[in-house]
Amino acid sequence: MSIIPFHDRDGLIWFDGQMVPWREAQVHVLTHGLHYASCVFEGERVYNGSIFKLTEHSERLVKSGELLGFTIPYSVAEIDQATRDVVKAANMTNGYIRPVAWRGSEMMGVSAQHNTIHLAIACWEWPSYFSPEARMKGIHLQMSKWRRPAPDTAPTESKAAGLYMICTLSKHAAEKAGFQDALMLDYRGQVAEATGANFFMVDKDRVIHTPKPDCFLDGITRRTVIDLAKRRGYKVVERAIFPEELKDAVEIFITGTAAEVTPVGRIEDMIFTPGEVCKNLMLDYDALVNGRLEKAAAAE
């Protein structure tokens, strides 16, 4: 398989207020964000030329920076517009957007009080991974040895680059063992999330259970799917979920900007059959992001 590296592509990237040729959007090797993880980011999707939940993502980006002790020098409205400009410049219909903000290179050390805060926004083509029919086979998850940290040990409400180090380690280990992703517990030993997606399970009464996001990110897709589930009439319970409960689940699925709604068919040696709840939420989410759900609601 031929891989096109991300540093060597055609196109434009919005970088500190202006469009820059893709290959020229560079930072110095001594940038603080690289050495000390003072970096936050977002992942967004473009569907049929429309950016899904754009303002919510921009707001979270700004909040993430504040949680890391820095202020992004652009308003939410300015970030929204810059994101639209990037999509327009790329003539993007369906794709992925990556806004990223970080501390620059004026100071190199733990302290970086005088470093410039930079912001860049890039986008690239990224169609849906699978059709709803193909995704219904369910992905396989390995239990990770790494745990999500306690909220008094890391800024767990931020989408900070440093918090994803153990996600990369977990996913690499899972893929090496023949799984597609990993399921992570939190510092208390409770079920938390996958490496880049939130976790849901369905019981025999079709009640949907999901962990409280008190030490990991309360995903924008997570909240969207909860709303869709309630609209369907499903009961959704946010609570502590323990690993020993997994074997009793009827359906399990994960949600995220990249994952969208993806059923799980296996966790370690536990087998699950994706069913009606997963399928309905997959279809509803697909209809929502493509504008069909809103049109149907308006017609009611």
Mind telling me the catalytic residues?
159
**Coil, strand or helix at 212:** coil
Which among 38, 4, 58 is positioned nearest to 220, based on CA atoms?
58
**Coil, strand or helix at 157:** coil
- Tally: H helices and E strands in the chain: 8, 16
Q: If you search the block for the tokens 């938390």, which residue do you land on?
A: 192
Tokens of 222: 């997570």
Q: What is the 8-class DSSP label of residue 186?
A: E
**Strands 251-256 and 236-238, how do they pair?**
unpaired
Which among 157, 211, 220 is positioned nearest to 184, based on CA atoms?
211
